Structure 1
C-alpha cells in the first residue's frame, strides 16, 4: 500500500466548508460546540460575524472539517492510508487520523494553539516564488536584518519568509528578491508563524501539552519540522517545536515519492496540497535515501540557514567502524578518572588543559573539585562542576587513546556527551565546547527550578501503561527495550521523582535516582531556552571530519544541524534521548561496529550487554569501581585486534 493522505493548513478555509459533514456527525458537532462556546456549523457554513479568517477561529474550524472528512471516508469503508502528513495546522488532522487523540481532544489542542498564536506579537509573512531554497537563504543571509526566518519550504520554487513586521515589509527585502528574479508576495496574516517570533507561544503551548495524554500512533505521521516520521510514542516535543520551526513540505513529499508512495489524497477544503504535490513531482528534492516509516526523527531545519548546506561526511566500507561513545549527566562521581590522571601522561595533560580553561573562567581548579577525597561516596551533583567535568573526562579519554595510536571512525553522544562527540569530530573547537558547557551550567544553576532524574529498569512501555506512577514526569530518554526488560529515564521536579521512586519500589520495579539536581530533557529547562540557543549561535561550527551519531535526533547529524547549531545546542539538553532508536536504525548491524565506551561509568557497555546482545562488541575505558589502568589496557587490546594497529601502551 502506497497511499498518502494529506491535510491542509491555514489558508485553505472557505465559507461553506463542511456543511454535509456537520449533518452526518451531529453528536461530535454538539460536543465541539460545547468546547468552543459557539456554533461550529454557523462559523464554517455561514460565518455571520466574518471571523473565519481569524487564527483563533480558523484553526479549530479547519481541523474539524478535515478530521470529519477523514472520519466520513473511514465510516464509508474507505481504505486506510500507508502514511499521513499535514501542512502546519494540518499536522493535527494527520495525528488524529493516526490515532494520537480523539476528535474532541484534537479540537481542544488546536483551539488553544489558535488562541495563543492570535495573541502573538505583530509579525508578517511573504511568499518568495521562482527561487529555490538555497538562493532564498543566501539572499536572506546577506540582508541587514536578524528577525526574518524561512518558515515554509513548499516546493522547489516556493518558500515563505516569516518574521518581524517592519523587516518583512522593508523595501530592501522586496528589492533583494525581485532583483534576483523572484515574485515577492506579502501574505494576509498578522503574526510571524513558524519563526523565532513564536518562541513565547511555543513555550506556553508546551505547558499546555504537558497535561495531555497522547496515544501511540497507529499510522506513520511525517513531521513538519523534520520531514521524517514521528516516533510511535513520546512525540510531544515535535508538536512544541513545530510552532517556531519551518514546515519542510518539499522535503517531506520528496522523501515519500522516493520511498515509492505515489498515491496522494487531500482531506479538507480546497486542493492546495494537491497542486503542490504536482509541482513537487515535476522537480522533487534529491534525497540521499528514503525515510523509513518507523525510523528516527531527524534534526530540525535551521530557522535561518547560514548558507548552502554542507554535505555530511561520506563513509566508505571498511573494517568494523570504531565508534567512540560519550555519556552525559548522571554518570559522574567523585574521583572519576583519578587513577588515569595519576598514571597516564596524555590523560593528565588533557585534563590539566581543561582545568586551566575552567580556572581562568571560574577561579577554581576543576581537577581539585573532581578529585576531592573528602567527598568520596557522596553525590557529585554540583552542576557548576559536573557539566565541565563530564565534558573534560570524555575529551581527555579521547586524547589518551589518540596518544596510544587509536582514533574513532565515528562518534556518538548521549545527552551532554553530544557536545563531546561534536568536538572530537571537529564540528566545534575544544575551547568553544568547554565554554558552552560552563556557561550552560551557570544558566541551569541561576535560572532553572531544581529537579531530578530517575533511571528505571523496566520496559519503556511501563511509562505509557502506568501514567499514575509517572504523573508530572517527562520521558527523558530510552536506552533499550524488550518485552520483559528495558531501561528508560524520567525527569521532573525533585519531589515527583522521590514519589515515583517510592511508588516503583512498592511495585517491585528497580529505579535508581541519578546524581543530578536538574530536570534535563523536561520542561524544567524551558526558562533558559532562549539563552541556551544564543550560546549555540556563538559557536563557530565546522563541517565534521567524522560521522556524528546523535541520540537526540536518533540519526547521524546532517547539514541542517550544522547550519542550525543554536537549535542543536538546545535540543541536546531539552530533547528526548533516543539511544534505542539510534541503535535500531543507524547502528543495527553489530558486525559493522566496534563500540568504545568513553563515559565515566561504563554505562554504554551495560546498555549493550543487557539490551542488545553479545553481537555488539566493545569495551569501556573507566568506571567507578576502580582498576582503570587495567580497563584501559583491555580496551587498547581490543582496538589492536579490530584495527590491526599496535598500542603504545606498555
Structure 2
C-alpha cells in the first residue's frame, strides 16, 4: 500500500534571479493578487516584470517586491496544478518571505508590505559592495581575509561548501578581489548598491525591527528553515529572525544540509527562479558530512492499555536494532506493581529504565518510539534525559498523536463510564470485540486502560527549549488530526520535522511494522 511522504521541500529564490519576462503566464491567472500588490506598491508589478519599461527591475527597491510576487504566484500555480503543498520551506534571503507566506505566517498583502519596506531600507543603503568567491570554504576564506588584514569584510552568503559571498566597504572588496584572484579563486562582483547581510546593515536592521513591531504573525503551519540560524523558525520569533537576517549571513549551505540529513535531494523542488538553487542543492549534497549513527537499540513506549508485547511484531522487522520495551507498572512483567496514573511519576519510572540500560551499554546510539499515549510519554522521557544530562537519542519517532502542546483528543476518555467507555475504545480500534466475552479480563484491562487514560487527562505541557533530536511523525490517513495538530511537533525540535502518512485508522501501525522499522533505523519506508 502507498505511503504518503508529504509535499517535500520547496525552495524560493531571492534577489539576483530577476529577469525581464519573469512571471509570464501567471499574472492573468491571479488578477486579484496582482491588483492587490499594485495597490500596496503604487505601480503595475506585472508591467515591471514583463516589460521593465523604465529599467527598474535591477533596482533593489523594485526587484525584491517583483520577485516576491512572482514567487508567490508560482507557488500557488504549482499547487493548483496538483503539486502537494510543501512540508518544509526554504527561501534564499528575500525568498524566505515566500517561505513564510506559504507556511501561513502572514497573508499576501502583509508579505508585500514587509518586502516593500525591506527593499526600501536596503535600497537606501550606499557605500558598500559584495563579491562572489568560488573555490574556497568559509574557513579558508576567513583565514585569507585575516592574513591580508581584510577583517572589515563579512562572509554574507554561505551558498555552498565552496561558493560564498563577501560583503563590506567598496575599497576593501576591490582589494579582496585582487588578492583572492591571485590565490587562484574565481571572483565576481555582485550587482548591489550596498554591503547586504553584513555588519554594515545594522541601522537598517534596527529600523526594520521597529517596523515589524506593527505586525502580528500567525503560528506556522509548515516548517520554515531560517537563513540566520539554519534551523526551523519558532512561533513568536518571526519578527526577530527576519530583522536578524538583514545584517546576518545567509547560511544557505547549512540550511540545506539540515534538511538533507532528513530528506533526500529528490524531494526538493525550486519554485520559479532559474534553477540556481537546485544546482546549489546538488553541490551541497556532494559535500562530505558526518553520517548519522544507526541506533543499536530502540526504547519503546506502548499505547494506552499496551504492554511489553505491544510492539513485538515491530522487533521482527528491525535489522541489527534491539527492541527494548519500557514497561509501565501493573502489566506484563510488572503485573504485580501498582498501576500509575500520574504523568510525572510515570515519566520518572520510564526514564529510570532507560538510565539503567545506558549505564550498562554506555554511549551506544539509541532511538525512542511511542504510539498515541506512548508518543507523549516518549517525548517526555527525551526531555527528562536532557534534564539529567544523559545521552540523547539519535531520533524520536512518534505515531498516532498530535504535538504535545496540543491537548490530547482522548483527555476526557477516562471519565466515560460503563458501556460508553468500551464503545469508545472499540471505535478507536484498539480493543478486540471478543474481549467482552470474558468479564475477568475486561475488569483487569479496564483498570489498566483507565489508569493510562487518566495519564492523558492529567498530562500538562510545559514550554521548554526544543530538543536537539530529530523527530519523525507518522499518522494514519483515517485519523482526525489537523495540520496544526501535527506541525506542533516542530516546536519541540531544532531539526526539520519529517512527516509520513500511512493508510489506516488510529492503529494503522499493525499493518505497517516494516515501514516503521525502517523509519526507526533511519531509512525511508
Q: TM-score range by the shorter chain?
A: 0.5 to 0.7
Q: Quick one: which of 275, 278, 281 aligns to 1:274?
A: 278
Aligned equivalent of 1:13: 18
CA distance 1:81–1:320, shift in 2 (3 Å) = same
Q: How many residues align?
A: 321
Contact 1:222 1:229 in 2 (8 A): yes
Structure 1 unaligned regions, length at least 5: 291-316, 322-407, 412-458, 462-481, 489-549, 557-579, 587-650
Q: Quick one: which of 60, 71, 78 aligns to 1:73?
A: 78
With normalisation by structure 1, the TM-score equals: 0.46
Q: Distance in 2 between matches of 1:272 and 1:166?
A: 29
| 2:258 pairs with 1:247 | no
Give the 5 Å matches for 1:217-616.
217-262=220-265, 263-283=267-287, 285-286=289-290, 584=492
Contact 1:59 1:89 in 2 (8 A): yes
Cα distance per residue 1:566-614 (max 9 Å; x no partner): xxxxxxxxxxxxxx9999559xxxxxxxxxxxxxxxxxxxxxxxxxxxx
Report the Cα offset of residue 146 of structure 1: 3.5
Q: Distance in 1 between matches of 2:188 and 2:182?
A: 14
Q: Distance in 2 between matches of 1:110 and 1:485?
A: 39
Cα distance per residue 1:169-195 (max 9 Å; x no partner): 12xx23432333211212121111110
Aligned equivalent of 2:139: 134
Report the Cα offset of residue 45 of structure 1: 0.5
Q: Distance in 2 between matches of 1:72 and 1:203?
A: 35
Q: Quick one: which of 169, 174, 177 aligns to 1:169?
A: 174
Q: Distance in 2 between matches of 1:78 and 1:15?
A: 26
Structure 2 unaligned regions, length at least 5: 295-357, 363-386, 391-403, 407-456, 470-487, 495-525
Report the Cα offset of residue 237 of structure 1: 1.2
SS of alignment partner, residue 151 of structure 1: strand
CA distance 1:289–1:56, shift in 2 (3 Å) = farther
Report the Cα offset of residue 486 of structure 1: 7.0
Aligned equivalent of 1:198: 201
Report the Cα offset of residue 241 of structure 1: 0.7
Give the 5 Å matches for 1:613-628.
none
| 2:122 pairs with 1:91 | no
Cα distance per residue 1:434-453 (max 9 Å; x no partner): xxxxxxxxxxxxxxxxxxxx
Q: Quick one: which of 115, 118, 128 aligns to 1:123?
A: 128
Report the Cα offset of residue 138 of structure 1: 1.2
SS of alignment partner, residue 21 of structure 1: coil
Contact 2:234 2:491 in 1 (8 A): no
Q: Quick one: which of 148, 151, 164 aligns to 2:156?
A: 151
CA distance 1:103–1:583, shift in 2 (3 Å) = closer
Q: Distance in 1 between matches of 2:122 and 2:157?
A: 17
With normalisation by structure 2, the TM-score equals: 0.56
RMSD: 3.3
Q: Distance in 1 between matches of 2:492 and 2:40?
A: 42
Cα distance per residue 1:95-129 (max 9 Å; x no partner): 11111111111111000000000111321000110
CA distance 1:48–1:584, shift in 2 (3 Å) = closer
Q: Distance in 1 between matches of 2:233 and 2:292?
A: 19
Q: Distance in 1 between matches of 2:233 and 2:287?
A: 25
Q: Distance in 1 between matches of 2:254 and 2:51?
A: 37
CA distance 1:92–1:289, shift in 2 (3 Å) = farther
Cα distance per residue 1:202-240 (max 9 Å; x no partner): 000001111111111111011111111111443321111
Q: Distance in 2 between matches of 1:208 and 1:483?
A: 42
Q: Distance in 2 between matches of 1:460 and 1:122?
A: 48
Report the Cα offset of residue 78 of structure 1: 2.1
Q: Distance in 1 between matches of 2:182 and 2:359?
A: 49
Report the Cα offset of residue 145 of structure 1: 3.0
Segments of 4+ in structure 1 off by > 3 A?
A: 284-290, 317-321, 408-411, 482-488, 553-556, 580-586
SS of alignment partner, residue 200 of structure 1: helix
| 2:208 pairs with 1:208 | no
Aligned equivalent of 2:315: none
Aligned equivalent of 2:393: none
Aligned equivalent of 1:61: 66
Contact 1:14 1:269 in 2 (8 A): no
